[in-house]
């Protein structure tokens, strides 16, 4: 029986057959966009090598994904793109918020594209709350460049551990190079640890500074200045020119006290204006000379080799940590041990030792 409630045994309850549903009458239904088909690793690689921007964008999304099945295919794509990568100038650009990074990258970008070739602008900002939907945000930040057909602009992978975000950016560099981008800019906000990460993946590190009140040198971490291959003082325009020149002199003096750089290149200090496009060619002349110099001395190769080693170790570190801290039994044990350590029932060292032993045991069990 269709409706048991209609049985004679029930009194006072009657279920009527309902109204039948309407046929689908939406004439636009067939026009609805369908999801793009999933590509195979070989199709990704083929698209990338052809310079297909939409395939490149999708491949970068895979690299950024935390899903394991995406990571597996992303790693395969990266591996196959590796032989086609490396042929670019990788330039890191840092500066505090407001220093004029976006304005300058817009102008620098057009400057390098004048000589032909292609440019990818990537970013590392682990604090970023910017997510996928905000590509628009970055496009408006670099207004002219974003309209250029030879520029590929990609915001920072969304917030995560610095190591993780940086690794994704480094892998994205490989894909971009395989797609024919022979200029790579990696932007970072000059306020924390991210400069070190950027420094470990670029050939030239540019620090954008502003003329300040005279004590500006104190505000910059010495480590960041030591990493810089060039320091540029932005906003050297209008009645700010004198102050910018003064700041440049102070930076030059400060740099003289630094030990020689590993490349033996002497970092230069240049004033310019991103907004009014003044001295842009001077900045790029410096960068051109740097590349000539390091290619001649062999430092270019040496640094890239060191970076490759560094990223191998970084990736191992990251994977080990991830594996360790995401195991439920380890997390549970850690919680117990934390309590015991806090209550002075066990020392930090024996607690750590026991957690690690358990971890090794689980690994052996997995074999
Ligand atoms: P970011 O936060 O480092 O990306 O800095 P922006 O590029 O957004 O620039 C911050 C502000 O400084 C904006 O209002 C820009 O218009 C202004 N600005 C950038 N470059 C210059 C410049 O060369 N001269 C002057 N006067 N202002 C500039």
CA of 212 to the centre of ligand 1 (A): 14
Q: Give the closest residue (by CA) to ligand 1 atom 18.
A: 100
Domain annotation covers residue 311: no
- Tell me which residues have their CB closer than 6 angstroms to ligand 1: 95, 97-103, 234-235, 237, 273-276
Last-in-domain residue among 45, 65, 84 = 84
pLDDT at residue 134, rounded to an integer: 42
Q: What is the pLDDT of residues 261-303, one digit of tens each?
A: 999 999 999 999 999 999 999 999 999 999 999 999 999 999 9
Which phi-psi region, left, alpha or beta, contains residue 272 (left: φ > 0; alpha: ψ -120 to 50)? Answer: beta
Report pLDDT digits (tens) over 200-223.
999 999 999 988 744 555 556 677
Do residue 52 and residue 91 come from a single domain?
A: no
Ligand 1 mean position, distance from CA 336 (Å)? 51
d(CA 194, CA 10): 73
- Residue 151 near residue 58, CB atoms below 8 Å: no
98 and 78 co-located in one domain: no
- 191 and 208: one domain? yes
Residue with tokens 């900002």: 125
Q: Which of 247, 275, 276, 283 to mutate to test the pocket of ligand 1 (most atoms within 8 A of CB)?
A: 275
**In a domain? residue 218:** yes
Q: How far is CA 367 from CA 8, 322, 354, in A?
A: 65, 19, 20
148 lies in some domain: yes
Kindly state whether residues 79 and 128 are assigned to the same domain.
Answer: no
The whole-angstrom separation of Cα 353 and Cα 359 is 10
Residue 191 has a pLDDT of 62
Predicted confidence at residue 159, as pLDDT, reads 62
Same domain, 266 and 174: yes
Same domain, 45 and 150: no
CATH number of the domain to which 177 belongs: 3.40.50.300
**Helix or strand (DSSP H, E) at 224:** helix 222-227
Do 70 and 155 share a structural domain?
no
Residue 130's pLDDT is 47
Assigned domain for 320 exists? no
- pLDDT tens for 110-147 read 999 998 999 999 988 766 554 443 444 555 678 899 99
User: If we measure between CA atoms, which residue out of 176, 202, 184 comes closest to residue 59?
Assistant: 176
Same domain, yes or no, for 66 and 95?
Answer: no
Whether 205 and 354 share a structural domain: no
Q: Specify the pLDDT at position 318.
A: 83
Do 332 and 293 sit in the same domain of this protein? no
Domain boundary among 19, 50, 84: 84
Determine the atom of ligand 1 nearest the C-alpha atom of 106. 7
* pLDDT range class, residue 310, cuts 50, 70, 90: very high
The verdict on 65 and 206 lying in the same domain is: no
pTM of the model: 0.83
Percent residues over pLDDT 90 in the chain: 60
Give a yes or no: residue 319 inside a domain: no
What is the pairing mode between strands 119-124 and 230-234? unpaired
CA distance 301 to 294: 8
Range of the domain at 264: 85-298
Domain-located, residue 189: yes
- Of the pLDDT bands very low, low, confident and very high (cuts 50, 70, 90), residue 43 is very high
Could you please report the per-residue DSSP string of 276-332? TTBSHHHHHHHHHHHHHHHHHHTHHHHHHHHHHHHHHHHHHHHHHHHHHHT-HHHHH
Question: 1 C-alpha vs ligand 1 centroid, how far in Å?
Answer: 76
3-state secondary structure 262-279: CCCCCCEEEECECCCCEC
pLDDT at 131: 44
Q: Average the pLDDT over each of 154-163, 204-213, 236-245, 266-275 and give the range with the smallest value.
A: 154-163
Per-residue pLDDT averaged across 340-367, rounded? Answer: 92
Report the CATH number at residue 74: 1.20.5
Q: Domain ends where: 84, 115, 148? A: 84
Match 């190769």 to its residue by tokens: 301
- Report the number of distinct structural domains present in the chain: 3
DSSP classification of residue 85: -
**Ligand 1 pocket, mutate which of 94, 95, 98 (most atoms under 8 A from CB):** 98
Residue nearest (by alpha carbon) to ligand 1 atom 25 = 235
Residue 90's DSSP bridge partners are 184
81 Cα to the center of ligand 1, angstroms: 36
Same domain, 198 and 93: yes
């Amino acid at each position: 029986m269709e409706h048991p409630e209609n049985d004679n045994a029930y009194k006072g309850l009657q279920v009527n057959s309902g109204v039948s549903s309407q046929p689908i009458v939406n004439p636009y239904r067939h026009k609805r966009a369908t999801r793009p088909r999933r590509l195979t690793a070989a199709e990704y690689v083929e698209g990338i090598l052809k310079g297909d921007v939409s395939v490149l964008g999708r491949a970068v999304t895979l690299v950024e994904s935390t899903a394991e099945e995406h990571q597996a295919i992303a790693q395969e794509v990266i591996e196959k793109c590796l032989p086609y990568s490396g042929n670019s100038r990788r330039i890191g650009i840092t500066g505090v918020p407001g220093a004029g990074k976006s304005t300058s990258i817009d102008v620098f970008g057009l400057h390098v594209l004048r000589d032909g070739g292609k440019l990818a602008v990537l970013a590392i900002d682990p604090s970023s709350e910017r997510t996928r939907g905000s590509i628009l945000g970055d496009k408006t930040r670099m207004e002219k460049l974003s309209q250029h057909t030879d520029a590929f602009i990609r915001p920072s992978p969304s917030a995560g551990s610095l190591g993780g975000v940086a690794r994704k950016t480094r892998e994205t560099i490989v894909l971009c190079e395989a797609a024919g981008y022979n200029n790579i800019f990696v932007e970072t906000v000059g306020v924390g640890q991210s400069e070190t990460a950027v420094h470990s993946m670029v050939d030239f590190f540019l620090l954008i500074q502003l003329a300040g009140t005279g004590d500006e040198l104190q505000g910059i971490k010495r480590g960041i200045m030591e990493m810089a291959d060039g320091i540029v003082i932005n906003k050297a325009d209008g009645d700010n020119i004198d102050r910018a020149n003064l700041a440049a002199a102070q930076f030059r003096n400060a740099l003289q006290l630094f030990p020689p750089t590993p490349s033996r290149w002497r970092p230069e200090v240049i004033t310019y204006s991103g907004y009014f496009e003044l001295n842009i060619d001077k900045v790029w002349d410096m960068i051109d000379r740097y590349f000539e110099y390091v290619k001649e001395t062999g430092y270019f190769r040496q640094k890239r080799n060191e970076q490759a080693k560094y990223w191998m170790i970084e990736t191992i570190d990251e994977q080990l940590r991830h594996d360790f801290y995401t195991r439920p039994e380890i997390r549970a044990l850690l919680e117990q041990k934390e309590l015991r350590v806090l209550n002075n029932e066990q020392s930090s060292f024996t607690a750590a030792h026991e957690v690690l032993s358990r971890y090794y045991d689980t690994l052996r069990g997995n074999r």
